[in-house]
Amino acid sequence: MNNSERFWNASLEELKCGYILENEHYICLLCGAKFEKGIIYPDEGTLYEAERYIRLHIEKNHQSVFDYLIQLDKKLTGLTDRQNLLLRLLYQGKSDAEVQKEMNIGSASTIRNYRFVLKEKERQSKVFLAIMELLKEKDKHAPAFMSLHKTFEILDERYNVTEQEREKILKKYFPEGTDGPLDTFPKKEKNKLVVLYEIAKRFDSERTYNEKEINQILKEVYHDYVMVRRYLIDYGFLDRKSDGSQYWLKSDSKRKEEEHMERKKELKRLYKEWKPQAGVYQIKNTKNQKIFIDSTMNLKTINGKKFALNLGGHVNKSLQEDWNRFGEEAFVFEVLETLKVKENGYFDAKDALKKLKQKWLDTLQPYGERGYNQKKS
């Protein structure tokens, strides 16, 4: 069993630990490193039994299981960049106010709203996991699918390969066995993925290779080793330095720490450069043409209104009822006007925004049959 298969077959508790016990070896689920049970391992003058040592290994090489998981591709985590950064900051123990300041979005209450959405996501995930576990007990016809490699670049139908299909493909393209040479290089995407997955097993996740070493290994696989090398990189199995001086198996043990730091810096830079803009917006029901007009000091938070509506918690009951009736796809969000901020002299943004909203209320009259707003008496 390769380490990707171990990772995907691990239980939730095993994933949280980051390692499993298999055949008297503790194996790191994050990189595949093995430590034999019963052996004492030295580190900086201190002796550790195997299980304690693998925990130390995770801390030194991956920072933590959380850090490892949070940097996986968004197609695996299901997190947006903003949610990803939010979780990183919360994991660091920052308060809602500190998170709001660092991300420069909304207010502390905005962060609490995000917490609520994430909690809802957690509940949904638990229910879905329970459903799938119960399904396994009844679905006797479910095929076993090929495991995903965690460093994939694109998740698509190429991964729709059962274990039975995988074995058939390998027998076709490796007639002398998977340790032998490749007969021909496949053209079909699914076959190509299976073959590349197998070739990648010839590399040690704990090693860095130069180009000559990479080529030597691949020459034993196929005569056009340059093409195979390119595909291994394109499909996310191998990575390399820009000058081609070093190659490594693209497992997280070999992802350079500077890449993590650069990614974090880039996310921080983007959020700091992103300045909130106040304005007035409308939510339009395309089925009956009714509109709801509102204002916000940060137009980027409009998606939060969608969350509230999808969760059934919008303050406007009439709008909420129609949202529940027609569904999200029947509504369109549109920014009507942004607030122009005066650079010089005193400027009360909240008061100016209030007047801007009133202007649009007077213009569009979103009351009664025309809209969801309520006229103030």
**Nearest alpha-carbon partner for 279 in 187, 341, 186, 369:** 341
Whether residues 64 and 113 share a domain: the answer is: no
State whether 93 and 41 are in the same domain.
no
Please tell me the predicted confidence (pLDDT) of residue 239: 86
125 and 90 fall within a common domain: yes
DSSP 332-356: EEEEEEEPPPPSSS---HHHHHHHH
Same domain, 42 and 101: no
For residue 26, what pLDDT is reported?
A: 94
**Structural domain for 237, as ranges:** 157-249
Among 46, 70, 94, the domain-final residue is 70
Would you say residue 152 lies in a domain?
Answer: no
Give the pLDDT mean for 272-278.
Answer: 67
Under the banding of pLDDT at 50, 70 and 90, the label for residue 2 is low
- Which residues, including other chains, have CB under 8 Å from residue 291's CB and lie 6 or more apart? 282, 283, 284, 285, 364, 366, 370, 371, 372
Is 306 a member of any domain? yes
This prediction's pTM: 0.47
> 227-236, 272-281, 292-301: which has the minimum mean pLDDT?
272-281
- For the residues 361-369, what does the mean pLDDT come to? 94
The answer on 219 and 296 residing in a single domain is: no
Q: Is the pLDDT of residue 360 over 70?
A: yes
* Position 226 in a domain: yes
Higher pLDDT, 93 or 152: 93
Angle (CA) 250 251 253, round 5°: 120
Q: How confident is the model at residue 254, as a pLDDT?
A: 43
Of the pLDDT bands very low, low, confident and very high (cuts 50, 70, 90), residue 155 is very low
Residue 319, domain member (yes or no): yes
Say yes or no: 28 and 95 in one domain. Answer: no
Query: Taking all residues of the chain, what is their mean pLDDT, rounded to a whole number?
Result: 84
152: pLDDT strictly greater than 60? no
Shared-domain flag, residues 359 and 316: yes
* Residue 154: per-residue pLDDT: 46
pLDDT at 322: 95
Considering the domain architecture, whether residues 63 and 17 belong to the same structural domain is answered as yes
Q: Which whole-number Å values give the CA distances from 373 to 107, 316, 325, 336, in the listed order?
A: 25, 8, 18, 16
Residues 83 and 131 in one domain: yes
Tens of pLDDT, residues 228-261: 999 998 888 888 888 888 998 876 444 444 454 5
pLDDT digits (tens, 9 = 90+) for 208-220: 899 999 999 999 9
| 83 and 66 in a common domain | no
CATH code of the domain containing 326:
3.40.1440.10
pLDDT category, 185, cuts 50, 70, 90? very high
User: Cα–Cα distances in Å, from 189 out to 76, 196, 226, 246?
Assistant: 21, 10, 18, 27
Token digits of residue 176: 């002398």
When divided into structural domains, the chain yields a total of 4
What pLDDT was estimated at residue 54? 93
Q: Is residue 48 part of a domain?
A: yes
Mean pLDDT calculated for residue range 46-56? 91
pLDDT mean over 292-309:
84
Q: Are residues 291 and 334 in the same domain?
A: yes
Pairing of strands 279-285, 291-296: antiparallel
Q: How far apart are CA 19 and CA 299, in angstroms?
A: 44
Helices 302-310 and 317-326: angle between axes, nearest 10 degrees: 70
pLDDT of residue 252: 45
> What percentage of residues in the chain have a pLDDT greater than 90?
40
pLDDT band at 306 (very low <50, low <70, confident <90, very high): confident
* Band of residue 63 on the pLDDT scale cut at 50, 70, 90: confident
Query: How far is 237 from 239, CA to CA, in rounded Å?
Result: 7
Contact 54, 26 (CB under 8 A): yes
Residue-level pLDDT at 144? 57
Are 297 and 349 contacting, i.e. CB atoms less than 8 angstroms apart? yes
**pLDDT value, residue 349:** 86
Indicate whether 272 pLDDT > 80: no
Kindly report the backbone phi and psi dihedral angles of residue 286, in degrees, each rounded to the nearest multiple of 5, phi listed first: -75, -10
Express each pLDDT in 99-121 by its tens digit. 888 887 777 778 888 888 888 88
